[in-house]
Amino acid sequence: MTSLLRIPKYELDPAFVGNARVEYDQMKAFEGADFVYAKNWAAYTGENYGQILSKDREWTVGDRQMGVTNNAFFMHCLPVRRNMIVTDDVIESAQSIVIPEAANREISATVVLKRMLEGLK
């Protein structure tokens, strides 16, 4: 089952949530996880769109949170604000797969662009 950890005031549009379980207890959301995909805590909708409303470091992904996972892999699409979204220890660990993820994103974007340009013929 997929769980989404959300902070109040940072709700996702229900269209994106789908059937995923939304969890508001951070440590409960990390328990037993196989993958942790972190993203910034900017407001998604409304008058605060894109603004960072809280700089509470309790939400920074660190050893404490990763310690309750199932030896989870850490993911982030980059760029990342180090020691705000994730600690250096986590992003530089053997469980971090941010660099391969970024490489895959580059290939995917190239394919999309290629197909768009081919469609112009």
**Domain 3-118, CATH among 3.90.1170.50, 3.30.70.60, 3.40.50.1370, 3.40.50.2300:** 3.40.50.1370
In angstroms, what is the C-alpha Rg of the chain? 16
pTM of the model as a whole: 0.77
For the stretch 65-117, pLDDT in tens is 999 999 999 999 888 889 989 999 999 999 999 999 988 988 999 999 999 99
Domain boundary assignment for the chain: 3-118
